[in-house]
Chains A and B, each alone.
Chain A
Amino acid sequence: MPAVSKGDGMRGLAVFISDIRNCKSKEAEIKRINKELANIRSKFKGDKALDGYSKKKYVCKLLFIFLLGHDIDFGHMEAVNLLSSNKYTEKQIGYLFISVLVNSNSELIRLINNGIKNDLASRNPTFMCLALHCIANVGSREMAEAFAGEIPRILVAGDTMDSVKQSAALCLLRLHKASPDVVLMGEWTSRVVHLLNDQHMGVVTAAISLITCLSQKNPDEFKSCVPLAVSRLSRIVSSASTDLQDYTYYFVPAPWLSCKLLRLLQCYPPPEDGAVKGRLVECLETILNKAQEPPKSKKVQHSNAKNAILFEAISLIIHYDSEPNLLVRACNQLGQFLQHRETNLRYLALESMCTLASSEFSHEAVKTHIETVINALKTERDVSVRQRAADLLYAMCDRSNAKQIVAEMLSYLETADYSIREEMVLKVAILAEKYAVDYSWYVDTILNLIRIAGDYVSEEVWYRVIQIVINRDDVQGYAAKTVFEALQAPACHENMVKVGGYILGEFGNLIAGDPRSSPLVQFNLLHSKFHLCSVPSRALLLSAYIKFINLFPETKPTIQEVLRSDSQIRNSDVELQQRAVEYLKLSSIASTDVLATVLEEMPPFPERESSILAKLKKKKGPGAVSVSDLEEAKGEGGALNGSGDRGADAAATSNSATLSPSADLLGLRSAAPVAPGTGSLLVDVFPEAGPASAPAVSEDGFLRHLDLPPESSDSLLVEAPGESDFEDPALPLPESDDLLYKFVCKNNGVLFENQLLQIGTKSEYRQNLGRMYLFFGNKTSVQFSNFTTSITCPGDLQTQLNMQTKPVEPLVDGGAQVQQVLNIECLSDFSDAPLLNIMFRYGGAQQNLTLKLPVTINKFFQPTEMSSQDFFQRWKQLSLPQQEAQKIFKANHSMDTDVIKTKLLGLGPALLEDVDPNPENFVCAGVIQTKGQQIGCLLRLEPNAQAQMFRLTLRSSKDTVSVHLCHLLAEQF
């Protein structure tokens, strides 16, 4: 506090502080402080009145002690007393103490508020300023409530001093930020806006901060500030550097004010009034012109101030995005900065240009700087600048320059900083796909990408390249040739081996004619990488080998030899061992025809949006792909993962069904003829049988269903009054749970029906994947417009279930039906159901309804056949109390044996006959397939015909699954 001690030096305070500083240890310091506190307490004891000076001194000491980190619980009263002093220093210390130490103590706050009120009412500007500063520093709700009315009055009063106005504006800003609901401008609005015309630049600067903050909240109220701001700006911009004496900073007139004005204008669209707009454009041009002028000073502050205004102006130009001329000029100006020797300027220029690139007017102009940017990417020393350069390249890329940019980015990738490599890889992958005219170029690019930065290539990138290769006949031969060449490198990245294995397995025959890439050469090349790969890649390679047997019968002995070797057939990894055994058997038992059918070429993938691209489209700007986005993209890649691995799975349908080690792996014999790769799946057999042999169930279901429509349409009317076009999704219908239970044991049927709409569903599941068809039928004769559906996975479900779909047609004609396909992947076990939200306009009224989709965990059941002995052995293994869920309940439906059997079969697991000693009981076994794990499940249902009761017992390797399944099933019988 030098200012204080200069005037009337508080010797006691100085002595005390030096005592504290001289303390040898913490204990000594505490002792000294205790002593001082006792002294102050005895001085503050009510019986003798202290003069202002000593009061100030002691309050100062208390403040010092508090700032050292000790609790102060007294002295507030004395500080409040200081407020009423007429001496500046005493008042200042009082306010300081209150600002630092105030707590919401009701009685004191009242006194403090009183003191502040007196000071605000005084005509002394310094006292008013002190009071305003105190309000702003404390900024509590009580203060806001007490002074929210007073401060705007001071702010706009004509006779208030300028310095007080500044403080008042900033104080109001602070209160507004702290408790926006208390500070209501109302009638003051127009007068506050007119502060922009104030003579005093300081007042304008302070007021504009307040106005910017307020106008961000309700822009309409402050709309009138735009012309004022423009005129103010033009006055500053056109003024000579000597006009605004105090507010000229290194020859730049009022730089802070200019920046703030420009920022305020960014809150609003371009002014509609032609005159105002003209003036503003003129200002912006002047600013751009000034940037061209030679600097008036060599000082860095001068150029900083100038550039600050310039960059604000450019952001405003980009924000308006309506003046092609200005945009191009801004772009040129930034182009100059791209080569500036100041790193910060280069960074800012690149960053601003990124946004400029997205504007249609300036995109071309930005493109002219491509060489400079590429140069920056290569030579820049600062990694953050290089990153911006990469962002800009990405943003300016289009069909015309894609090849050049991708090539540059690829070449840069070799030397790129590790921190940005993954992002670069993703960008290259996106650009290559987005602007690929020539797919051989695309394949080249991605293979290069994998070669250069294999570790940073995420799974979905190589899934995507395989999808594209499979779907495009013209590129397949080229791809096979390229990967073959790429694989010849002595060290290949594992991702490259994966792509190579897959593509050669599918299309190796296309290059087999060339003696340099004869089948055996191909095989030997692939097999030379085998031992360097991880287990999943090895599994993929094994699948490729079996495909080789089909493609080139002459390789059969060699490959069988490999499969037969101990390192495969006795591999410690179950998956590899199983594949080896099964492929060996398949190749030696099946005839060529069967083999050819089983190992047919992969059918084209359904055309769908690349998950990387989908990610991109969600993003508004072409800015940086942040790390979190990347991670999400990886999560989405799960869907692709399933499809990418499909070749292997289709070739070996049996491998997932044989989870049990005791099953002697001869499942293959029965499975191979049944599943000859035609796409009809084991699981499908059951749903097909379900509705046919269970008339009782579906009838019952329909009966209940018939009761629904009037009720549900009522609720629709209540829920969706159809006022706004855009509404939040409605809550799920109350009966949607019942709807859900109806579909536990069957896959096809009517999901929902009211007077307007009928929704049918048909679904098929295999392992952890499923596909659901939704049929939306318009029951009326009127067209539905704005028909949109959305699928949401509430809560945890997002991580447990992966759902993908395409949007449906927005128009549904009367009597017509639209179809929507959902692809479902189960990532881990789940208990909630995904929500389907449907919105459409019917006769002008917005309809909004939400249903639960009948996706339940049991859909992912894979039946397991086992003997009675096996069953009970496993039953005993799952004997932990939390693994079991049991329910005893009354039968709601018929207890007919056949009906129950049908239901159990529809549920998913295998119904085991002759297992339970009691023939009345039903036992089932199955495996729930999720992406992450497989959950074995055993079920036992004991009906009691006399009592009309059931006892249901479920045991599974995961407790939540047992409980959830038990809950689901109990509703079915």
Chain B
Amino acid sequence: MIGGLFIYNHKGEVLISRVYRDDIGRNAVDAFRVNVIHARQQVRSPVTNIARTSFFHVKRSNIWLAAVTKQNVNAAMVFEFLYKMCDVMTAYFGKISEENIKNNFVLIYELLDEILDFGYPQNSETGALKTFITQQGIKSQPQTKEEQSQITSQVTGQIGWRREGIKYRRNELFLDVLESVNLLMSPQGQVLSAHVSGRVVMKSYLSGMPECKFGMNDKIVIDKQGKGGATDDSGKSELGGSSGKQSIAIDDCTFHQCVRLSKFDSERSISFIPPDGEYELMRYRTTKDIILPFRVIPLVREVGRTKLEVKVVIKSNFKPSLLAQKIEVRIPTPLNTSGVQVICMKGKAKYKASENAIVWKIKRMAGMKESQISAEIELLPTNDKKKWARPPISMNFEVPFAPSGLKVRYLKVFEPKLNYSDHDVIKWVRYIGRSGIYETRC
């Protein structure tokens, strides 16, 4: 189990140090700083073993979070915990930065006491935590006995993530499908690897203890229903998306603790009692039949030793009615670039010397369009024999559909005790596809 948890700033100074077990001493703090943060070579592995002690770290901007243990723990569990911890901190005080951490020392220690007990992760549901770890005295007036007992029964009870007796005038529900597309493409346009990792994030403002059921175009479910002869989903699949694809194959998925896994295993239906507020319902990954929103066609020509001509065409590949946003193409330049001239039809392009790249930004672009940039790069002759490695051209964007083809078929809410029905709930569904590592070799 986790023996201790440390938070460092970029210089390796310890901001937070919480030790849960005796086998971790103060020297572990220094060991991590010396061997990882100040290491001569950049440490790329998130798990480092120093003197029979394992350090699991994640980095958020300039802040290092390291979990330390001497035991053989489940590394995936530790990282899940660290990410959860980041989420909790973000939910409490916003961006994780040195200043924010310094301003919230007490809060962080209070949180750490609550979410880890003797190194074992406990309830890390933000909604639940916020009921009893309150911020900066806003709600710090002494709670009544009933409130306290309510919190206790909720935290220790079967449904630890939702308290009872929540009431809203308007029952509302927001559902976001957030996906990021990762791609590596050869210069000839052959897909070398592609996958989508997606999340379903919900924000629920529902009264009572509602029972929800979430349905999507999962291939297994659709096939099963197809066999059964019931095809009632034709009308509902128009919530969003771009392709006429009927169902998607999900490679693997994980759920929020509120989802009843037994039901998923037996019927593959996702039913749950949602926490109040914002949470991540599920995470999934697909690799088949991915809609690639953009195609990048590079053309690099070396003119002698001192000149390089680059032409890059991007083509948008989705419904013309949809608009992609925040498009950014990054074209790496050789290390001996001495000057760059860029011409582009659309957007703005600039040579950023500090990053050794030409950055081309386009605010908006509709589907089925194409745009082009051409650049002339002047090179300084060097005495270095090794050739330029030609790093891939990378791209960032945001599109309003799910590149995996996932569609939400339904989200039903049942609250048997209170008198509102599924139709009374206002539901909002949004699809956002972002680029992950979206690269084309040139």
A residues within 8 Å of B by Cβ?
A: 24-25, 31-32, 34-35, 37-39, 41-42, 44-45, 73-74, 76, 103, 105, 107-108
Main secondary structure of the interface of A (DSSP, over half): helix
State in angstroms the CA–CA spacing of A25 and B10 once bound together. Answer: 7
In the assembled complex, the CB of A804 is this many whole angstroms from the nearest CB of chain B, namely 47
A32–B337 CA distance with the chains assembled, in angstroms: 16
Determine how close the nearest CB of chain B comes to the CB of A194; give it in whole angstroms: 44
B353 and A34 contacting across the interface, CB-CB below 8 Å: yes
Contact B338 A42 (CB under 8 A): yes
B383→A74 contact, CB < 8 A: yes
- A108 partner residues in chain B, CB cutoff 8 A: 383
Closest CB in chain A relative to B376 CB, distance in Å: 13
Interface centre among A31, A39, A41 (most CB of B within 10 A): A41
Bound CA span A44–B339, Å: 11
Complex Cα distance, B62 from A658, in Å, reads: 73
24 contacts between A and B (CB under 8 A): A24-B10, A25-B10, A31-B355, A34-B353, A35-B353, A37-B335, A38-B353, A38-B356, A41-B336, A41-B337, A42-B338, A42-B339, A44-B380, A45-B378, A45-B380, A73-B335, A73-B336, A73-B382, A74-B336, A74-B382, A76-B383, A103-B383, A105-B383, A108-B383
B354:A41 contact, CB within 8 angstroms: no
The reply to whether the CB of B252 lies closer than 8 angstroms to some CB of chain A is no
Question: Is residue B384 within 8 Å, beta carbon to beta carbon, of the partner chain?
Answer: yes
CB atoms of A34 and B338 under 8 A apart: no
Which residues of the other chain, A, contact B353 by a CB distance below 8 angstroms? 34-35, 37-39
- A76: B residues at CB distance < 8 A: 383
User: Given A41-B337, A45-B339, A74-B382, are A34 and B10 neighbors across the interface (CB < 8 Å)?
Assistant: no
B interface: dominant SS: loop
Give the docked Cα–Cα distance between A34 and B339 (Å).
13
| Residues on the A chain within 8 Å of B382, using CB | 73-74
Q: Chain A nearest CB: distance from B391 CB in Å? A: 14
Q: How long is the Cα–Cα vector from A31 to B356 in the complex, in angstroms?
A: 9
Query: How many B residues touch the partner, as a band?
Result: 10 to 19
Query: Do B355 and A41 touch (CB < 8 A)?
Result: no
Q: Known interface pairs A41-B336, A73-B335. Does A35 touch B354 (Cβ–Cβ under 8 Å)?
A: yes
Instruction: Give bound CA distance, A35 to B353, whole Å.
Output: 5
Contact B354 A34 (CB under 8 A): yes
Least Cβ–Cβ distance between A155 and chain B, in angstroms: 33
Across the interface, name the chain A residue whose C-beta is closest to B384: A73
B352 → A minimal CB distance (Å): 8
Question: Which residue of chain A is the closest to B351 with respect to CB atoms?
Answer: A38
Give complex CA distance A35, B355 in Å: 8
User: With contacts A35-B353, A35-B354, A74-B382 known, is A41 near B10, CB below 8 A?
Assistant: no
Please pick, from B62, B355, B378, B384, the residue contacting A34 in the complex, using a CB distance under 8 A: B355
**Chain A residue, CB-CB nearest to B380:** A41
**Residue with the greatest number of chain B CB neighbours at <10 A, chosen from A39, A42, A107, A108:** A42
Contact with A along B185-197 (1 / 0, CB 8 A): 0000000000000
Q: A24-B10, A108-B383 are in contact. Are A34 and B336 (CB under 8 A)?
A: no
- Per the bound structure, the CA–CA distance linking A24 and B10 in Å amounts to 8
CB-defined contacts of B336 to chain A, threshold 8 Å: 41, 73-74
Chain B residues near A34: list those with CB within 8 A: 353-356
Task: Give the residue name and chain of the B residue nearest to A33 (CB).
Answer: B354
A79 to chain B, nearest CB (A): 11
CA of A76 to CA of B10, assembled, Å: 35
Q: Which residues from B are CB-within-8-Å of A73?
A: 335-336, 382-384
Question: What residues on A are CB-neighbors of B338 within 8 Å?
Answer: 38, 41-42, 44-45
A-B pairs with the 4 shortest C-beta distances? Answer: A38-B353, A73-B384, A41-B338, A31-B354
Least CB distance from A721 to B in Å reads 52
Closest CB in chain B relative to A798 CB, distance in Å: 38
Rounded to whole Å, the gap between the CB of A372 and the closest CB of chain B is 47
Least CB distance from B278 to A in Å reads: 31
Q: How far is the CA of A37 from the CA of B338 in the complex (A)?
A: 9
Nearest B residue (CB) for A35 = B354
CB distance from B397 to the nearest CB of A (A): 24
State A44–B382 Cα separation when bound (angstroms). 11
Q: Given A25-B62, A105-B383, are A38 and B337 also a contact pair (CB < 8 Å)?
A: yes
Q: Which of A32, A34, A44, A105 has the most CB of B within 10 A?
A: A34
Q: How far is the CA of A39 from the CA of B337 in the complex (A)?
A: 10
Min CB distance A110 to B, Å, is: 13
Chain B residues 337-371 with CB under 8 Å of chain A are 337-339, 353-356
B residues near A38, Cβ cutoff 8 Å:
337-338, 353-354, 356
Q: Kindly list chain B residues whose C-beta atoms are within 8 Å of the C-beta of A107.
A: 383
Contacts of A41 in B (CB 8 A): 336-338, 380
Contact with A along B291-335 (1 / 0, CB 8 A): 000000000000000000000000000000000000000000001
Measured CA separation A74–B380 after assembly (Å)? 8
Contact of B62 with A24 in the complex, beta carbons under 8 Å = yes
Q: Which residues of B contact A44 (CB under 8 A)?
A: 338, 380
Given A35-B353, A38-B338, 15 new contacts (CB under 8 A): A24-B62, A31-B354, A31-B355, A32-B354, A34-B354, A37-B353, A41-B336, A41-B337, A42-B338, A42-B339, A45-B339, A45-B378, A73-B382, A74-B382, A108-B383
In the bound assembly, the distance between CA atoms of A35 and B339 in angstroms comes to: 12
**Assembly CA distance A74 to B383 (angstroms):** 7
Q: Which residues of B contact A103 (CB under 8 A)?
A: 383
Chain B residues with CB under 8 Å of A42's CB are 338-339
Closest to A41 in B: B338
> In the docked arrangement, what's the CA distance between A105 and B383, Å?
8
- Closest CB-CB distance, B160 to chain A, in whole Å? 39
